[in-house]
Amino acid sequence: MSVIAASSNRSQVSVWVAFILLILGTFGAYHFVGLNQALLFLIGGALGMTLYHASFGFTSSWRVFIKERRGRGLRAQMIMLALAVLLFFPALGAGELFGNPVKGLVNPVGLSVVIGAFIFGIGMQLGGGCASGTLYTVGGGSARMLVTLFFFCLGSLIATSHIGWWFNLPHFEPISIVETFGVVPALVLNFVVFGLIAAATVYFEKKRHGSLEVEKKSPHQGWKRFIQGPWPLIWGGIILTLLNFATLAFAGRPWGVTSALAVWAAKSASFVGVDVASWAYWQQPANAKSLTESLWFDITSMMNFGIMLGALLAASLAGKFAPNFKIPARSIAAAVIGGLMLGYGARLAYGCNIGAYFSGIASGSVHGWVWLVFAFIGNAIGVKLRPIFFPGEKPQPEKLTGC
């Protein structure tokens, strides 16, 4: 059997596996919890498909801009955020959406956010993905990212063992610009900042390259492109925003990712005899409930499972599901270190690129902007460190030529 035929057969099998698991997950969530949980699981599946088909990676977009000054990915993120605040701010200002109470992810601003975001930023580049990126690449068949995910969970658990010390460092109470300035002024302020960031990427890209990068033309069009991808980055940003808004409607709060990873690690540790329930973090009512309840009831966990299955389905439909377990030792080392930093940093910073950056800014939380600044600085350090673990990324010496 040829390699192409084997890959095609593998993809056909994985399409059915993903489809069946999505159906079982939906019915399970409906049976054990209710309609909203089933819908949130499916929203997770749609998020996974979108992330995979649009290759909407925060990590790669930041790395490309830092190394090459190509800003197409960053501009797509600014469009995504602009649409998000346009949808979220009025609902959060009113405190309800479609008659149901809603609340943003607004968290304290302090040293823990600064340090956590910085650590997370380095971890993004070493681990090879952010929180959402780790989930969708695992679902898409990346064996290396399974290593990152495992240590992401472990890093999250380690942080919860002493998180109180970090949270007691100097900090300001949660600041919402929607509550502070009102909906319209907050929207104007955000639009100005998004515009300035987008303009800066245009300036630096033209200065380095003379023109803006043009998105490659897809070999597929119409429904075939929708099913098999790739999708334009702008499509990805818009769909992610709409799905995040749907999460707000059904969950009463925006999309988050990393709290579930700490829960998975804590449940696993408890299973092997570690008394995590005695830790202060897991004695807080909401966290204690997550630790003792079935994962069927945990919104973030169900959405994360949906993301991985949605990405599996997308990769399979595109004929790209082909796990490769031949991973260089240095790459594994980077996944281990990066995963630990991702998990640890996310807990310190009250979230990741989704919970703190995307949903935090969409919620009008000042901590989301602080996270963005220090995570970007961490990414710049991470990009400098990557050649240690990925020798192919070392700068090549310029060839001397005659006059």
402 falls within a domain: no
Spatial separation of the C-alpha atoms in residues 355 and 343, rounded to whole Å: 13
| pLDDT averaged over 10-residue windows placed end to end, the chain, 403 residues | 52 90 98 98 98 92 96 96 98 95 97 98 96 96 96 98 96 97 98 98 96 84 83 95 98 97 98 96 96 97 98 93 91 98 98 97 98 98 96 60 34
**pTM of the full structure:** 0.94
pLDDT value, residue 305: 98
Number of structural domains in the chain: 1
Phi, psi of 318 (to 5 degrees): -85, -5
Residue type, 378: G
62 falls within a domain: yes
Nearest to 307 by CA among 93, 145, 156: 145
200 falls within a domain: yes
Exposure string (b/e) for 388-400, b if CB count within 10 Å is 16 or more? ebbeeeeeeeeee
pLDDT value, residue 3: 44
Domain range for 316: 3-97+106-211+223-321+328-391
216 falls within a domain: no
Spatial separation of the C-alpha atoms in residues 231 and 380, rounded to whole Å: 27
157 falls within a domain: yes
pLDDT value, residue 219: 78
Residue type, 48: G
pLDDT value, residue 384: 96
335 falls within a domain: yes
400 falls within a domain: no
Residue whose token pair is 């808004």: 245
Number of H helices, E strands in the chain: 18, 4
Q: Can you say whether residue 279 is alpha, beta or left, with left for phi > 0 and alpha for psi between -120 and 50 degrees?
A: beta
pLDDT value, residue 395: 62
83 falls within a domain: yes
* Helix, strand, coil in percent for the chain, rounding step 5: 75, 0, 25
